[in-house]
Chain A
């Protein structure tokens, strides 16, 4: 495999993996699939692009604003929408539809605030590393390394910190956790904040790589979900594995078959994986 293809696959895989990690953390906290994570990524990316490129503010301002925006959106989704709805009904359809409606509100909101024109962010570093006949952008490597670091941090949080370890209990059976005296709300909010930070970081990494528009969130949401399904939910690293696998399949098929087949390849992948191994590569085995 050519190095360029491998590198492209890893970079895209890390990005999909981050979105999947966003789903994962939220899922652990509330047992709900939050399709709005793609919108958090998009909104955060557009925020940093808008502030840094269109208004010339320093990178640190853009990064902080982006992370804050994503956390706020995640918070609203959980506290403002999901919890009130879950208090009312056991069915998951209503709450998730509400999240999807919120996703569209974020979409249209981004369109109103940031305009309909695509926004491209500023690279985290302008350095170009000569390679072969061309170069590799330092920003892409920073994004890749940064994503891996974020995964490491998430894994460590889940395994070694109090709230992280208790997260699984809260997601699986909140009432029992409450009965055991766990600070359910605080644990949930910490996971929601983590989701926001992860999505915000993804947005900051992607904004300089592909101009974002107010409609970019949907492909993000879909690919992130596919990455999550592929990887499974056994550990914090599973979404990364899923993301890289998905991206490699996408990139290699684009390299060998061409771009026009992308939608058919993805459909085939979805049908095969969903039918035969919906629990993903790394599934939690529970002895029942």
Chain B
């Protein structure tokens, strides 16, 4: 009986300890640690970028207040990084790779110890040169181009979101289930779109998917009738939307509905990451299927989402960009805490050594794993197949889900 009493007492003490408010941990104090951010405020990737930055700003605040949600098991609960407050510096590269280099170096000039790339993939491809040169830990959590973590100059940069390579495998599996062999592609004429599009197309072609037609729409195009009629003539099994720019993507779907085209439409995370597309396309977006990174039952995702919506309102759509930015920050913190240092090489080595790191995206129980030759931490359970209904990515596709 005494043993039970001890156990009860221990449990009571444990419970009481948990009830002690977080303020007992105090806010971060001391010399700030500067984290540099490359964002796009005015160029073609500004949607993505600003959505990501919204999350980033909130998360920095949360970190400085010692609020790490579920991640505190992995990163501890010392506020900020190494107890010091995080101070973010932002530079706008206008999604122009010319400027990314200058702005990145400028961030370093102004004291940044770590760089977050929250602009387009093209920008990160250019900017990572500085990371290599100056041996600074760089995170590009939102970019999906696989080239970023391939040589040259890939030794100090890490990505978090599931890359095109991984996603394409899911598309192929899904398409097997519905007997898709012929696909019509639509892209816009921006370099960003082509980077992602070329990646996907090559992977699909290798797997035996035939290209019914490869259409291209102009940025700012008023009218998508001609490309859609061409697509209809080519009789594809489905239309794959690789248009990155929000208005053009929305216009594509609207016009398809207008013309009464019933060929199934699939898209990439470009659609799920930009709620503007759902807004602009209206009902035409219903039925579109995407391989996304957010599952409705992942408690980590829900925890971060709750904080996000507490700040920005319940109608503010929570997208995978927010989760991957959170993960990037958690990884950074863990690296710093485990090495007690801000030295770029040590941080890089620490991240490379991380395996089974809890993530805020993907299916329940999903974790990120890195290695020396694996600077993207994603794996298959990070993906989910969602379908648009009621103008949002609200349904899980009932035909196939990756395991």
**Chain A: residues with CB nearer than 8 A to chain B?**
2, 4-5, 7-8, 11-12, 15, 111, 116-118, 120, 132-137, 206, 209-211, 213, 215-216, 219, 251, 254-255, 258-260, 262
List of A residues within 8 angstroms of B220 by Cβ: 210, 213, 215-216, 219
CA distance A111 to B92 in the complex (A): 15
Residue of B nearest to A247 (CB): B223
Q: Does B46 contact A (CB under 8 A)?
A: yes
In the bound complex, what is the Cα–Cα distance between A259 and B261 (angstroms)? 19
Question: Given the known A-B contacts A117-B276, A213-B220, are A134 and B258 also in contact in the complex, defined by CB atoms under 8 Å?
Answer: yes
Q: Tell whether A258 pairs with B215 under 8 Å between CB atoms, given A8-B223, A8-B225.
A: yes
Contacts of B356 in A (CB 8 A): none
**A134, B260: Cβ atoms under 8 Å?**
yes
B227 in contact (CB, < 8 A): yes
Lowest 8 CB-CB distances: which A-B pairs, in order?
A133-B260, A134-B260, A211-B247, A254-B226, A259-B216, A8-B225, A210-B222, A118-B247
Q: Which of B256-283 contact A (CB under 8 A)?
A: 257-262, 276, 280
* Least CB distance, B240 to chain A, in whole angstroms: 15
> Please, how many angstroms separate the alpha-carbon atoms of A39 and B362 in the complex?
44
Q: Does B229 contact A (CB under 8 A)?
A: yes
Q: Which one of A4, A5, A133, A260 contacts B216 once the chains associate, using CB atoms below 8 Å? A: A260
Residues of A within 8 A of B247 (CB): 118, 120, 210-211, 213
- Chain A neighbourhood of B259, CB < 8 A: 4, 132-134
Q: A132-B260, A135-B258, A259-B215 are in contact. Are A116 and B222 (CB under 8 A)?
A: no
Instruction: Flag whether B217 is at the interface (Cβ < 8 A).
Output: yes
- Residues of chain B whose beta carbon lies under 8 Å from any beta carbon of chain A: 41-42, 46-47, 189, 213-218, 220-223, 225-227, 229-230, 246-247, 250-251, 257-262, 276, 280
Contacts of A15 in B (CB 8 A): 222
Q: Which residues of B contact A260 (CB under 8 A)?
A: 189, 214-216
CA distance A49 to B41 in the complex (A): 21
Neighbouring B residues of A134 by C-beta, 8 Å: 257-261
A120 vs B223: C-alpha distance when bound (angstroms): 14
Contact status B42-A111, CB under 8 Å: yes
Kindly state the separation between the CA atoms of A280 and B129 in the bound complex, as whole angstroms.
51
CB–CB B223/A251 < 8 A: yes
Residues in A neighbouring B223, C-beta threshold 8 A: 8, 11-12, 209-210, 251
A206 and B227 within 8 A (CB): no
Contact of B225 among A111, A206, A251, A262 (CB under 8 A): A251
| A215: chain B residues within 8 A (beta carbon) | 220
Q: CA separation between A136 and B255, bound complex, in Å? A: 10
Tell me, in angstroms, the Cα distance from A254 to B222 when the chains sit together.
Answer: 13
Contact A2 B251 (CB under 8 A): no
Task: Determine the distance from Cα of A179 to Cα of B150 in the docked complex, in whole angstroms.
Answer: 74
Distance of B310 from chain A, by nearest CB (Å): 24
Q: How far is the CA of A5 from the CA of B262 in the complex (A)?
A: 19
Q: Report the bound CA distance from A116 to B247 in whole Å.
A: 12
Residues of A within 8 A of B46 (CB): 116-117
Q: How far is the CA of A116 from the CA of B258 in the complex (A)?
A: 28
B218 touches A259 (CB 8 A): yes
Contact between A8 and B226 (Cβ–Cβ < 8 Å)?
A: yes
Min CB–CB distance A121 → chain B (angstroms): 11
Could you name 27 residue pairs across A and B whose Cβ atoms are closer than 8 Å? A7-B225, A15-B222, A116-B42, A117-B47, A118-B247, A118-B276, A132-B259, A132-B260, A133-B262, A134-B259, A136-B258, A210-B223, A210-B251, A211-B247, A211-B250, A211-B251, A251-B225, A251-B226, A254-B227, A254-B230, A255-B226, A255-B229, A258-B216, A258-B227, A258-B230, A259-B215, A259-B227
CB distance from A273 to the nearest CB of B (A): 20
Closest-CB distance, B316 to chain A (whole angstroms): 15
* CA of A111 to CA of B42, assembled, Å: 8
The answer on a CB contact under 8 Å between B42 and A255 is: no
Are the C-beta atoms of A211 and B280 separated by less than 8 Å? yes
The CA of A255 and the CA of B230, in the complex, are separated in Å by: 6
Name A210's contact: one of B221, B225, B226 (CB within 8 Å): B221
Complex alpha-carbon distance, A210 and B251, angstroms: 7
B242 CB to closest chain A CB (Å) equals: 13
- In the assembled complex, the Cα of A254 lies from the Cα of B231 at a distance in Å of 12
User: What 5 additional pairs, Cβ within 8 angstroms, besides A135-B260, A211-B250?
Assistant: A8-B223, A8-B226, A11-B222, A259-B189, A259-B226
Report B-chain residues with C-beta under 8 Å of the C-beta of A255.
226, 229-230
Is B226 touching A133 in the complex (CB atoms < 8 A)?
no
Complex Cα–Cα for A255 and B215 (A):
10
Q: For the complex, what is the distance from the CA of A116 to the CA of B261, rounded to whole Å?
A: 32
Most buried by A among B213, B217, B258: B258
For the complex formed, measure the closest distance between the CB of A257 and the CB atoms of chain B, giving whole angstroms: 9
Closest Cβ–Cβ distance, residue B26 to chain A (whole Å): 38
Least distance between B93 CB and chain A CB atoms (Å)? 14
Measured between alpha carbons, how far is A129 from B134 in the docked complex, in Å? 62
- For A15, the closest partner residue in chain B by CB is B222
Given contacts A255-B230, A258-B227, A259-B218, contact A120 B280 (CB under 8 A): yes
CA distance A118 to B276 in the complex (A): 9
Chain B residue nearest to A214 (CB atoms) is B42
Q: How far is the CB of B104 from chain A (nearest CB, A)?
A: 21
Known: A251-B225, A255-B230. A137 touches B280 (CB 8 A): no
Say how far B258's CB is from chain A's closest CB, in angstroms: 5
**Min CB–CB distance A131 → chain B (angstroms):** 8
**Cβ of B226: which chain A residues have Cβ within 8 Å of it?**
5, 8, 251, 254-255, 259
Name the CB-closest residue of A to B257.
Answer: A134
Q: What's the Cα separation between A35 and B215 when bound, in Å?
A: 31
Give A215's nearest chain B residue, CB to CB: B220
Most buried by B among A2, A132, A258: A258
Across the interface, do A259 and B217 meet the contact criterion of CB distance under 8 Å?
Answer: yes
The answer for the CA separation of A206 and B257 in the assembled complex, in Å, is 19
Considering the complex, give the chain B residue whose CB is closest to the CB of A218.
B220
Cα(A2)–Cα(B233), bound, Å? 12
How far is B223's CA from A137's CA once the two chains are assembled, in angstroms? 13
